[in-house]
């Protein structure tokens, strides 16, 4: 039973560039959430996708956008990269319509902005 | 505004003893609480959760206690083992888990052999 998988593992970009991160949810899950984890902090919620629509959004600028595909996989896009976007980006999946179900996380993509 | 707080950045416990990790929250709308464990270079791993309709949930060596009136939860690990050394995050959600997770800043637990 495959868990949540993310790609790539590491990425180095320069300021002003654009990046796309990818996530495949755990088998059977239909909801994908994205989080940003800065060094020494807990993960911060970016947004959540269910049925290919953005269901909930955290306090992140419009430079952060996403997409969910019919097979439930998801992409996170960040435009006009800033130095402050350097962080670990985590994807989590869950069952969208069931109560008291935990989100399961992938190992993340480490994004470094030079 | 930090809605979920873990006030102890680190904790050291002797192997075989009990580890107690604490978490406080301010949002009274939270109704589902989780603990995650994180090793370096890995994503958070789900450990145990509790719904607001309960005050205790147990799974093997791990027990979570919820005190709604104090807006406080704790994770007990007994007995502590060297493999338990990791960063532990407390998280909370509204709508019984269907909403976003709000995390604390984590507690680094070190088990001393």
At B54 the pLDDT is 95
Contact B89 A90 (CB under 8 A): no
Strand ranges in B55-100 using DSSP code E only, listed in sequence order: 56-59, 62-67, 72-77, 86-93
Name the β-bridge partners of B90: B35
Mutate to test the interface with A, among B39, B98, B106 (most CBs of A within 10 A): B98
A86-103: average pLDDT: 90
Q: Report CA dihedral (B64, B69, B71, B75) to the nearest 10 degrees.
A: -10
Is the pLDDT at A112 greater than 80? The verdict is yes
Residue B93 and residue A102: Cα distance in Å, rounded?
10
Is the pLDDT at B109 greater than 90? The verdict is yes
The tens digit of pLDDT for each residue in A28-77 reads: 999 999 999 999 899 999 999 999 999 999 999 999 999 999 999 999 99
Contact A42, A88 (CB under 8 A): no
**B37: Cβ contacts below 8 Å, ≥ 6 apart:** B44, B45, B47, B84, B86, B87, B88, B89
What's the token pair of residue B81? 């083992």
- pLDDT cut 70: percent of chain A above it: 99
At B16 the pLDDT is 98
At B92 the pLDDT is 96
Cβ of residue B56 closer than 8 Å to a chain A Cβ: no
Residue whose pair of structure tokens reads 């609480």 in the numeric block:
B33
Contact B20, B27 (CB under 8 A): no
């Amino acid at each position: 039973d495959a868990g949540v998988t993310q790609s790539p593992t590491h990425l180095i970009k320069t300021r002003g560039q654009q990046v796309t991160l990818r996530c495949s949810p755990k088998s059977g899950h239909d909801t994908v959430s994205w989080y940003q984890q800065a060094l020494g902090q807990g993960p911060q919620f970016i947004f959540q996708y269910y049925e290919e629509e953005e269901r909930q959004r955290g306090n992140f600028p419009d430079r952060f956008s996403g997409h969910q595909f019919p097979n439930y996989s998801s992409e996170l896009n960040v435009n006009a990269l800033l130095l402050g976007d350097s962080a670990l980006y985590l994807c989590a999946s869950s069952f969208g319509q069931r109560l008291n179900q935990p989100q399961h996380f992938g190992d993340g993509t480490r994004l470094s902005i030079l | 505004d930090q809605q979920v707080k873990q006030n102890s950045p680190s904790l050291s416990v002797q192997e075989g003893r009990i580890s107690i990790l604490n978490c406080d929250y301010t949002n009274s709308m939270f109704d589902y609480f989780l603990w995650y464990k994180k090793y370096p270079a890995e994503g958070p791993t789900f450990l145990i959760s509790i719904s607001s309709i309960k005050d205790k949930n147990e799974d093997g060596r791990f027990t979570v206690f919820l005190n709604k009136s104090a807006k406080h939860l704790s994770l007990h690990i007994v007995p502590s083992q060297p493999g338990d050394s990791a960063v532990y995050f407390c998280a909370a959600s509204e709508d019984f888990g269907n909403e976003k997770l709000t995390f604390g800043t984590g507690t680094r637990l070190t088990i001393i052999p």
